[in-house]
Structure 1
C-alpha cells in the first residue's frame, strides 16, 4: 500500500465512521478544537474534506493555556495562520491554568482539562454550534486506560474515552499516532511540537514515553491495538450496566437536600448495579459524584446489607448516608436545615418572626378565633408571666397527650416515622416550659384552651 492509498483509506474510514454511527447530523455547525499539534491539524484537515462533501460549517477554537510563554503564543499563531489560509473562522481563548490549579488545589493537567473544555463550550455557545470535536486518538485511549488503571478506576474508568459523549465527538479514536503523522506528511501539514510533552513529571507523559514503550518491547508490540479492541468491549458492557442502573435510578426520590431509595429494592440488586445506583443518587443530590471512591461505596453497600438502621456514614462533599425506616437516605449537609439543638427565639411582642427560614406571624387578641386552623396556635397570655418560645428539639423533651399522659418527643417522632435528619429542623413552640406544638404535625394544648376570658390570647400563625 502506498502512502497515498493509506491517505485514501484513512479519510474513507473517518467519513464512513461518522456516517455509520450518525455522529454528525447533515450540515451541522461544529467547533473543532485545534492545539496546532499533529493530531488536531490532521482532524481539522479531515473535517474540511468531510464538510466539503457533506456540508456543514467549521469554527476552529484554539485554547492558549498560558503555560509555555512564547511557545504558547507561537502555537496560537500557527493555527490562526492555517485558518486564514483556508478561510476558516478562528476563535482564540486564553485561560490561566496555573491560577486555577492553585485556587482549586488541582494538578496542572486536571486544571488545564477543565478550563479547556469550559473555553470550548463558551465558543460553542457564542457561535450557536452543536458539537465540539476533539482529536483524541487510539494512543490517547491507551494512555487513558493505563492512567485510570494506575489510579484504581473501575469499569467506568477503564472503558476509556467515548467516541461521543453529550456534546463531545472524538472521530479519531480508531486512528493511531503513526497514521496521523503519515497523513500530515502527505498533505504537508506543518504542526507544532509541544516541548512539555517530553516532561516526564507529568504522569501521562511518563505513561506515553516510558510505560507503553516498555510493554511494547517486553510483552506485546501491538498493545495499542489490543487495548483498543478490549476497550470497545468494555464500553459495550459498561453501557448495558449503566442502563440497568438508570432503570432503578428512576425511582430515586429527591426532596430538597435529600434523596431516598427503597432499601429493599437496593438490597436485591447485584452489587455492580447497586454501586451504580448509589452513584446516580449522589449525582442527583449534588450534581456530580466527585470524590466518591470505592471505600465509600463499600461502606454504603454494607450499611444496606446489614440493615444498620440509625448508623450514619460521612461521605465526601458534605454528604451523609443513613438508613431511615425502609429507605437509604443521602443528605446534603445544609447548616440552616440542621440547626443546633439550643437555637430559640422568644416571642415577646406581636410581629413577624423568622426562625431559620420558617416564618411565624404573632398577634394579640381578646377572644379565641371561631375557626381552628392547623397552622394557627392560640394560647392564653398573661403579661410578665407567660413565656413563649420557638425553638428546636432538645434531649429529654416531652409532650403531654390527652388520655395518654407524658411521652418523650423522640417516641412521637418515631411513631410518626419522621426521619431523624428532619427532626432537628422542625420548629417547636414552648409554652411556660412545655412543648405545646410540633409545628406541621400536632398541637398539645388541651391544658390551655379554656381561659374563660381571664386574659388575652396570643395567636401564632405558621406562614411557611
Structure 2
C-alpha cells in the first residue's frame, strides 16, 4: 500500500478530516512537511477537503531561512496551494521576553498557524511529525521521568482552541518520507540546526538512539509501539478517573472533597490519576504536578498515616486530610476565613449564611399545657429545639471565636468549642464556617449540625418552642 493510501486509511480510522473541511498544512520546507503537503494535495480531491499552507520564518538562520521561505512559496505555487507566510525576528523577541529559543519559536509558530487557519476558514492544522519524531519524543520523556501520560507521546489529533491539530504522518517513518520525495522528484531544504546536539531532541536523534540501536535495531519502532499502548491505557485511566470524579467526589465551597474510604477502595493507579484530575480542575497545570507530590497526597490518605495533615499541592491549592474526609481547597477556603456575624430578631424566619454555604430556618410553635412534647425525631444533628421563653433575643449567629465555650448536658461547667470540634472530628478547614447560635446574654445555644447546649431545654413547662434547622446549599459541607 502506497503512502497516500495508508494516510487515507489512518485518517478514516482516526477521524482526521471530513469532506468539506479546510486543512492548513504547516510547511517548513524540510522533507517531512514537503512530502506531507504533496500527499495531502493528492488526497484533497478524492477525500473532498480544501488545502492551504502556512510557513513561518523564525529569523534564526539568515539566508538559509530566506531560502526555505522561497522554496515553500515556489512549491505551493507549483501545487496550486494558497500560502500564508510570516517572518519573525525571534532573537529580539527572546531577548525581550527571556524565553528559551525553542519555547519562543513554538509560541510564535502556533500563534501564527491559528491566525492563518482562522483567515482560511480551516478547522484543522496538519503537522508533519512522523514515527521517528514520536520515538524521539517518547525517549526524551522517558529520560525526564515521565509517567503513562508522558510516554503516550504525541496524539494523532488534539483540540487546541477553535482548531484541531492533526498528525497524518505519525505512523510513517522518516526513511519512507525521504523515499517518497525521491520517487516523486521533490526537492526539499535541510535545516543546518538539526545537526547541533546542543538541542536535546537532536542529541537523542543523533547520539542516544543510534547507541540504543546497537542493542535493538528496531528500538524506534518499539518506542512508537510503547506510545500507542500507553495512549490507549492513558485514555482508559482518564475516563475511569472522570467516572470516579463524578461518582465519589463532591464539590464544596472553594474546592472538592471525598470520603477517605472511597478513595482507598480505588486501585493505586486510579488514585494517582484522580488526584491529578482534581488538581487540574483546581487550576494546577498538568505538567506542574510532580509524581512525588501526587504520592505524598496518596500516602497521607493511607492507613497508619496521621488523621489530620496538610500538603501544599501548588498554585495555591492545599490538600487536607481531616479524619476520614479528604479535601482539596483553593485560596482562602484552604486557610482561615475572615468570620461572620448576623443578628436574628424574634420575627426572623430564615437567615442565609453565604460564608457557610447554607441557611438557618427558624420555626416557632405554641404548646398548650398537657400537650405531648415533640417527638424525638423533631431534633437531629441539623435541627435543635429550644424553650423560646428561656432564650434572650436578639440572637447572634456567628463564626467561632477564640475562647468560645458551651455548656453541655451532663457536664459540670462548660467545654471549649475547639474541643467539641475535635471530639466530633470536624474538618479543620470547615470550623470557621460553621454557624454558632448565641443569645443576647452571650450563651452559646447551638453549634449548627454538631451539638446543642444544655441551655433552654424543652420541658413539660415549655409553652413556646423554637426550632432551628440548618440547610446546606452544597452537599455535606461539614458532614451535616
Aligned twin of 1:212: 209
Written as runs of structure 1 = structure 2, the 5 A alignment for 1:167-316 is 167-216=164-213, 218-251=214-247, 252-286=249-283, 288-306=285-303, 307-316=305-314
Within the alignment, does 1:24 sit opposite 2:17 as a pair? Answer: yes
> 2:193 & 2:250 partners in 1: Cα distance?
47
What CA deviation, in whole Å up to 9, does each residue of 1:409-434 have, x standing for no partner? Answer: 32454577653224456798999996
> 2:442 & 2:95 partners in 1: Cα distance?
54
Within the alignment, does 1:374 sit opposite 2:374 as a pair? Answer: no
CA contact (8 A) 2:392 2:441 kept: no
What CA deviation, in whole Å up to 9, does each residue of 1:200-244 have, x standing for no partner? Answer: 11111100111112222x222332223333432333333333333
Aligned twin of 2:126: 133
CA contact (8 A) 1:337 1:424 kept: no
Q: 2:315 aligns with which of 300, 317, 322?
A: 317
Distance 1:428 1:185, change over 3 A: farther
Gaps of 5+ in 1: 1-7, 345-354, 382-388, 448-463
Distance 1:276 1:380, change over 3 A: closer
1:9 CA displacement: 1.3
CA contact (8 A) 2:263 2:271 kept: yes
1:12 CA displacement: 1.6
Distance 1:57 1:415, change over 3 A: farther
CA contact (8 A) 2:309 2:322 kept: no
> 1:422 & 1:103 partners in 2: Cα distance?
46
Written as runs of structure 1 = structure 2, the 5 A alignment for 1:5-16 is 9-16=2-9
What CA deviation, in whole Å up to 9, does each residue of 1:372-428 have, x standing for no partner? Answer: 5435999999xxxxxxx9997555444567997644232454577653224456798
RMSD: 4.1
Distance 1:60 1:421, change over 3 A: farther
CA contact (8 A) 1:428 1:435 kept: no
When structure 1 is superposed on structure 2, of 72-81 and 181-190 the one drifting more is 72-81
> 1:439 & 1:87 partners in 2: Cα distance?
77
TM-score with structure 2 setting the length: 0.72
What CA deviation, in whole Å up to 9, does each residue of 1:100-142 have, x standing for no partner? Answer: 8788876433444455444433444454432222111111011
Within the alignment, does 1:408 sit opposite 2:413 as a pair? Answer: no
CA contact (8 A) 1:199 1:205 kept: yes
What CA deviation, in whole Å up to 9, does each residue of 1:158-212 have, x standing for no partner? Answer: 2222222332221111111121112223333332322221221111110011111
> Residue 311 of structure 1: SS of its match in structure 2?
strand
> 2:312 & 2:433 partners in 1: Cα distance?
19
Distance 1:174 1:121, change over 3 A: same
Distance 1:123 1:292, change over 3 A: same
1:337 CA displacement: 6.8
Within the alignment, does 1:86 sit opposite 2:82 as a pair? Answer: no
Distance 1:231 1:441, change over 3 A: closer
1:145 CA displacement: 1.4
TM-score with structure 1 setting the length: 0.74
> 2:258 & 2:98 partners in 1: Cα distance?
33
> 1:170 & 1:24 partners in 2: Cα distance?
11
> 2:440 & 2:325 partners in 1: Cα distance?
38
> Residue 31 of structure 1: SS of its match in structure 2?
strand
1:16 CA displacement: 2.0
> 2:87 & 2:442 partners in 1: Cα distance?
64
